[in-house]
Amino acid sequence: MARTRLITAVNEALVAEMERDPTLIVFGEDVELAIMGDTRGLVERFGRDRIRNSPICEQTLTGMAVGLASAGFRVVLHLMFNNFIYTGMDAIGNQMAKLRLMTGGQMELPITVIAGYGGGNGNAAQHSDTAYPALMNLGGIQVAVPTSSADAKGLFTTAVRGRTPTFFLEPAGRGGDMGEVPDGEHLVPFGKANVLRTGTDVTLVAIGTMVRPTLTAATALAGEGVSAEVIDPRTLVPFDEDTVLASVARTGRLVVVDEARDRCSAASQIAAVVADRGFATLRAPVRRVTVPDVALPYARNAEAVLIPGPERIAAAVRSVMERQLA
């Protein structure tokens, strides 16, 4: 057990997997200097045949990942910020997400794309999106959203060893929280949510960067006599519907916290699943706590009011505690 930042846990997992599998290749913009931290030290250790700075040309980088994987390699493509998926979208939406199906299963594409997401860093709207809702709707793309250092190591290892294109989304800018990381091999299965706090009155599903403010809100609510269960889904595709539905069956209430914009957010999908499969267990309307349907502005104060924090989350919970379905 060592205590590290999330980004360092990814770095350690990447080193271990590159040691384990000589066909694992890492490329992307500025990966040699490791601007995001997760590829630090790799070029010195593995050389430029294994990790390589690319030109700035996302539509070609994403397509190259498909070609390199087709040629028998495991691929880690670093896209830096998840806003850059928009420039690389053809090979994401039309190739990575589709070719396994379109070739009748012939084409295995073991590709892991790393990208930072989310606001709160004064990066303005072109570097602050939470873009996983777009990825969730493409087809054959898995989406992992680690929140702890241990899960980052475990989910990353699972992503790299898999045979399906996977987006591994890191909280941008801050390097993630500090946390304990298991030594040695550590895999976290996809589609298995983590119940971070048990409770009886309300289920809070918190995605990625929203886990910390949600736990803060849950602690505050406990002081008011509200017992909140907090669930971290860890992966959005596949998504652990059963754990969420079982929790809502006990609590009767659901609040989903998501840094994506409200419209077609991951929270919207989760709310729809519970409305569909868990309607009879609900005792109050489902609430989504999300970013309003605007782009995140640059100024700190203007940005901060839009990103869900403990106060907004707690207020949403209080509103569902007051409301009771007949």
Active site residues: 127
78: nearest Cα among 118, 36, 22, 121: 36
CB of residue 208 to another protein, shortest distance in Å: 20
Report whether 144 contacts 189 (CB < 8 A).
no
Residue from 101, 275, 302, 315 that binds another protein (CB under 8 A)? Answer: 101
Pairing state of beta strands 74-81 and 24-28?
parallel
CB of residue 38 to another protein, shortest distance in Å: 19
Q: What six digits make up the tokens of 15?
A: 């080193």
Which amino acid appears at position 176 of this protein? G
> Is 55 or 225 the residue whose CB approaches another protein more closely?
55
Confirm or reject binding of residue 104 to another protein (CB under 8 A).
yes
Residue from 1, 44, 106, 322 that binds another protein (CB under 8 A)? Answer: 106
Question: What is the contact mask toward another protein in residues 183 to 212, using x (rule: CB under 8 A)?
Answer: ----x-xx----------------------
Half-sphere exposure for 77 (CA within 13 Å, toward CB): 33
Confirm or reject binding of residue 164 to another protein (CB under 8 A).
yes
- The beta-carbon contacts of 273-278 under 8 Å, at least 24 apart in sequence, are 273/239, 273/241, 273/244, 273/245, 274/244, 274/245, 274/248, 277/241, 277/245, 278/245, 278/248, 278/249, 278/254
Confirm or reject binding of residue 161 to another protein (CB under 8 A).
yes
Q: Which residues pair with 9 in a beta bridge?
A: none
CB of residue 68 to another protein, shortest distance in Å: 4
Helix axes 6-20, 149-161, angle to 10 degrees: 30
CB of residue 53 to another protein, shortest distance in Å: 10
> Is 152 or 307 the residue whose CB approaches another protein more closely?
152
Binding site for another protein (CB under 8 A): 25, 49, 54-55, 57, 59-73, 90-91, 94-95, 99-110, 139-140, 142, 157-164, 187, 189-190, 238
